[in-house]
Amino acid sequence: MDIINNAKSQCPKYTTQSIEVVSEEATGLLGRFHGVALAAVVFLAFMLRLYRLNDQSLWWDDFVAFGYLNAPSLQSHLSFLRAVFPEHGAAPLYYAFQYCAARVVGMNAEALRLLPVAFAVSAVPLLYGFVRYLSGRKAALLAALCLALSPQHIWYAQELRPYELITPLVVISISTFLRGYREGRVLWWAINLVTNALLVWTHLLTVFLILTEGLFLLVFCLRRFRRVAAWTTVQLVLMVPSVVSVLRMASGNNYIAFKLPPLQYFIFILGGDIVPFHMEIHPAWKPHAPTAAMFPSLVPLSTVLGWVLLAVFTGASAWAFARIIRNCRQQLKAIVSAQPGQRDIEDMTLLLMVLFIPGLVTILFGLSLNTVIFSSYFMYNQTALYAIVGIALMSFSGAFFRRIAVLGIIGLYAVQLLVFLPEVTRANWKGAASYIRENASRNDEIIDIEPLYPDRELAFYLAPDWPVRLVETFQAACDDSARILQAAPGTDKEGVQKRVWIVVQPFYLKVITEMRFDCATQLSQALLERGCKPSLKVFPGQNGVIVCMVEKNGGDVHGIGLPVQQIEPRVHTFGGELPPSIDYESVLNELGFRGCGKAERQRLSQALRESVDHWPLDERFPGSARFCCIAPILDLVCRGHGHLAAAVAQELIDQHPNYGLLHMALGIALLKDGKPAAAQEAFLSAANANRNLGVVLAPFLDALVSANGLRAAGDEAKKLEQSGLWFAPALRAASQIDGSPTAVKSTFPSTFLLDGPVNMNRNMTLKR
């Protein structure tokens, strides 16, 4: 318009027709400029999401589904997921895409990460199109730039999780919803309804976005009840399959909630892009000293400027709310029926509702169920925030102030990115694995301490050349190291002394649980007490990784069984007191081993020390899940203590009778304890409690009652292990009690066989 006004003032002889020609040319030039600018923003988003993609190691959240990608079919892959992580398996859209992609690129983590990167980048032009529809090209370009520069969207674009598939789907949903509401075209409504159905199949908690859209219709379409009723009815019909999936979902993992201060929830909604405030983004300097950052002087500056960025986002949201109030007042004063400001009220109201309602409802939902809530569950609300910021800053009068505002936003984001991008932001398993490969000999052994979850990251980056022994406790790591070195000869054929490499993540213990337990110090002290010489190397990153090389300290190895200092609990800053230090004698009494002799009690007590570090198991750590209590039971099985494992499993089942994985763990323990008939009962109870667990266990149980018995069951357990099922090693260990092909079949009740070998798929249907 400035070009046109200048043409009018400087060239009065221009006719209206010639001015229209100038207008068309100016519009074309502006469109081409914004097209190039948008392409540059999309390219920037792509490059930022590719940056250090190959340097980032897989971590626990990635392994939720990645570990099962070797499953023989998509159906079995999703069955594994539903059996172990029912909350994720009930919304499998992204995981289905990932499984199909793995059929093309294989178990290549870097290549598979291109899938969420592609989804993330697609959201940038989609957001541009939506905001352009609301407020023009300039605001749209700024909103797209905010999304491109967003640290949290970059973080999740490099993770094998569904969050970056949600983002473009949400933008499509709200843009088609608004256009359908405004234009009334069936096409827009159809796209909106189908997209919403896909959203719920991607993440269950996106249902709160659909709730937000429904509330918008109630506010602005109350007099057009038919439209609201039609939209609601069709939406419910499309969501029926998802509702059925949720209703059939097995008992979940019961994540424990962090009791955060109210300010943290406010930051969840408006401050997700502020790296120092984000709970899940962990550059190297967050779990370590600021000097671990490439630009250590920027770390405190990023915190200060983070508050400034939060103030900008808060101010933009307040501006949107004030704009609604102003336009409502104008409407009340208006006489004409045109209702000035009506469209603007609708736009700002929808954006504010999308920004606040899903996050607030998700937080309240999580608190009511006592389950952990992270901002990633509703970070799609940031798309509405970026739209508000773009519209607000482009509403400044004067091009100079608009340029200053844009440069200010870019500068604030630049500081966040400078303290976020240059460092490894996830646990550096790649670095740890490379260090071991470069320095270890083929005669060495590797122990991975996993005190919370049965993680497999180290094994993934070392496999298939280096076998990794998973242990649950520091006691087991130290005693196993001492046993290995004690049994080893002086040197191998090449004159190299045998060593053990212990690997542990201290983050869970030092940051999440805030316990008084220094992993490095306690590990070193316990190894020295056993006549071993430890040498530690720390790899900074999200969870941090410590690699400890253990060798003989000159003399004989001794002190096996000496108690390792326990993890000392304290009052957790998030609220609640951790359980007291474990008294193993009392635990044995609780488990029913009162009548054992002294030698037997010492043996059982030592077994507990090597597999269990806190009691009760289902209250081990804040931030952990019920899922975590399965690993110590299976560890007892793998270490040859089937009877003790069965007692622990039964104790937990008494508290959580409907948790299928516990019944499965009991079945494995009983099988290891030489009680196949009782194991069969436990496996069937597991299948009744968790239908998909029955599907997963079907081949193993079919083999167990076949002519080859345990031998065939062991073969099926190996197949499950190759598919990535985390409890398959214990399943295989339990089936190696006896080499006799018929050791199990004759002991099972005839009712189990029905009219032939058991078909778990059929039996589960009948049982349910």
For 650-689, give the secondary structure using H, E and C.
HHHHHHCCCCHHHHHHHHHHHHHCCCHHHHHHHHHHHHHH
Q: What's the rounded mean pLDDT across residues 476-484?
A: 93
What tokens does 412 get?
């604030």
Tokens 């937080």 sit at which residue?
363
Angle among Cα 142, 147, 148 to the nearest 5 degrees reads 90
What share of the chain in percent tops pLDDT 70?
A: 82
Q: What's the rounded mean pLDDT across residues 665-685?
A: 91
Q: What is the pLDDT of residue 757?
A: 36
What tokens does 388 get?
């508000």
pTM of the shown model: 0.87
pLDDT digits (tens, 9 = 90+) for 124-165: 999 999 999 999 999 999 999 999 999 999 999 999 999 999
Span of 208-222, 429-443, 557-571, 672-686 with lowest mean pLDDT: 557-571
Q: What is the pLDDT of residue 196?
A: 96
What tokens does 528 get?
């020295």
Q: What is the mean pLDDT of the chain?
A: 83
Q: What's the rounded mean pLDDT across residues 42-70?
A: 90
Q: What is the pLDDT of residue 668?
A: 94
Q: What is the pLDDT of residue 665?
A: 93
Query: Which pLDDT band, with edges at 50, 70 and 90, does 580 fall under?
Result: low
Is the pLDDT at 760 greater than 50? The verdict is no
Is the pLDDT at 415 greater than 90? The verdict is yes
What share of the chain in percent tops pLDDT 90?
A: 43
Is the pLDDT at 480 greater than 90? The verdict is yes
- Identify the three-state secondary structure at position 742: coil
Is the pLDDT at 323 greater than 60? The verdict is yes
426 phi and psi angles, rounded to 5 deg = -120, 165
Q: What is the pLDDT of residue 494?
A: 64
Select from 598, 660, 667 the least CA-distant residue to 633. Answer: 667
Beta strand 545-552 with 500-504 is antiparallel
Kindly provide the residue ranges of all beta strands, DSSP E only, lying in 401-467, ordered along the sequence. Answer: 445-449
Q: What is the pLDDT of residue 647?
A: 95
pLDDT digits (tens, 9 = 90+) for 284-313: 787 677 766 777 888 889 999 999 999 999
Cα separation, 505 vs 241, whole angstroms = 40
Chain Cα centroid distance, residue 372: 12
Query: Which pLDDT band, with edges at 50, 70 and 90, does 483 fall under?
Result: very high
Q: Is residue 427 within 8 Å of residue 544, measured between CB atoms?
A: yes
Cα separation, 416 vs 401, whole angstroms = 23
Length of the chain: 768
- Identify the three-state secondary structure at position 324: helix
Measured over all CA atoms, what is the biggest interatomic distance in the chain, rounded to whole angstroms? Answer: 112
- Identify the three-state secondary structure at position 531: coil
What tokens does 524 get?
């070193």
Query: Which pLDDT band, with edges at 50, 70 and 90, does 747 fall under?
Result: very low
DSSP 626: G
First to last CA, the chain: 70
Q: What is the pLDDT of residue 616?
A: 76
Expressed in percent and rounded to 5, the helix, strand and coil fractions of the chain are 65, 5, 30
Q: What is the pLDDT of residue 569?
A: 47
Rg (CA), the chain: 30
Q: What's the rounded mean pLDDT across residues 572-600?
A: 74
Span of 143-147, 234-238, 407-411, 583-587 with lowest mean pLDDT: 583-587
